[in-house]
Structure 1
């Protein structure tokens, strides 16, 4: 049964690569307008789960529904933005040239490109670097440019795979501030992370351990259920898996 206000529902989702089972019967409901965090150690299945949600991988068993309908990748793409762990940027081009190229792939008309490019670069605080070649960008600037590209076509849902990896704490806070502004605009964000303070800033969390969801709720409710004071302690109570592993 689809829950009221559910935008993405996973039911009994499993994924194997050969004899290796990466995800085991994952069931989740992600609500419209939430920042939903997928938290777990490296190798827990976070990236695979994101790829299944956006149709880049096919489940071995189970189903994904988007807004109540069975997932069809070609129909989904106009509604979503995806930011992978690795930046897919052309270093020899300027930020504007990267954005213009991606805007053309999204099908944005020439008249709206300039406005959208300026809007998304303002959102990620990079407007002053619009004409700078990407090879002159720091790692943090490249991550923010990747986020700007994911926002170009004004997607309803953003899937962000470890968007702040390798970024210093001050810049991470700025990026998370932009996530909350996007939420206020009505966007839904699905974010993978293994950083504790980021997990606490999500509306709801799905805790992944060894390919299984061990809990899905608000951060405070999860801690209360397990009688602990930190999310990491939840993992330690479930087989001694540390988030830092």
Structure 2
């Protein structure tokens, strides 16, 4: 990949995740939600069709949690498969399918949450 192609891809990902205006900022100056989206952006640079994310909203306040989950929902709507491991049940309605694991519950439970 040429430098021009790499720079174009970086701009595409920044735009896709709503980070274009922060492109020249240092990571330590970004909000928690912007940092999480930056982490996802790094993964998207190679155009993966499948993303596995472990606790992508951990440590975020509720507004940033929702923003990150909406970003992941948009990625899924655009044709990517997104697998999220989370302990936070606040935004499960944004998921297409759920797999619930609980100790002593026997087999895992799979569900389709209702859409708002």
Which of the numbers 214, 226, 235 marks the counterpart of 2:108? 214
**Structure number having the greater strand percentage:** 1
Matched ranges for 1:41-56 at <5 A: none
Q: Which residue of 2 aligns with 1:186?
A: 79
Measured after TM superposition, the shift of residue 116 of structure 1 is 1.2
- 1:120 pairs with 2:26: no
Q: Is the alpha carbon distance of 1:202 and 1:213 closer, same or farther for their aligned partners in structure 2, counting shifts above 3 Å? A: farther
User: Quick one: which of 35, 52, 62 aligns to 1:159?
Assistant: 52
Counterpart in 1 of 2:90?
Answer: 197
1:147 is paired with a residue whose SS is helix
Residues 33, 68 of structure 2: 8 Å contact kept: no
Q: Report 1 or 2 for greater relative contact order, CA contacts < 8 Å, sequence distance ≥ 6.
A: 1
Secondary structure at 1:145 match in 2:
helix
Query: What is the number of equivalent residue pairs in this alignment?
Result: 113
TM-score by length of 2: 0.83
Secondary structure of 2:85's aligned partner: strand
Gap runs ≥5 in structure 2: none
Q: Distance in 2 between matches of 1:197 and 1:135?
A: 27
Q: 2 CA distance for matches of 1:133 and 1:169?
A: 24
After TM superposition, the structure 1 = structure 2 runs for residues 91-110 of structure 1, keeping only pairs within 5 Å, are: 108-110=1-3
Aligned-pair CA distance for 1:205: 0.6
The CA deviation at 1:163 is 0.7
Whole-angstrom distance in 2 between the partners of 1:180 and 1:199: 11
Alpha-carbon deviation of 1:186? 0.9
CA 1:213–1:139: 2 relative to 1, 3 Å: farther
Instruction: Tell me the CA shift for residue 131 of structure 1.
Output: 1.4
Deviation at 1:213, TM superposition (A): 4.5
| Alignment TM-score, normalising by the size of structure 1 | 0.42
Distance in 1 between the 2:32 and 2:101 partners? 27
Task: Tell me which stretches of 4 or more aligned residues in structure 1 moved more than 4 Å.
Answer: none
Among 163, 173, 176, the alignment partner of 2:69 is: 176
Provide the alpha-carbon RMSD of the alignment: 2.0
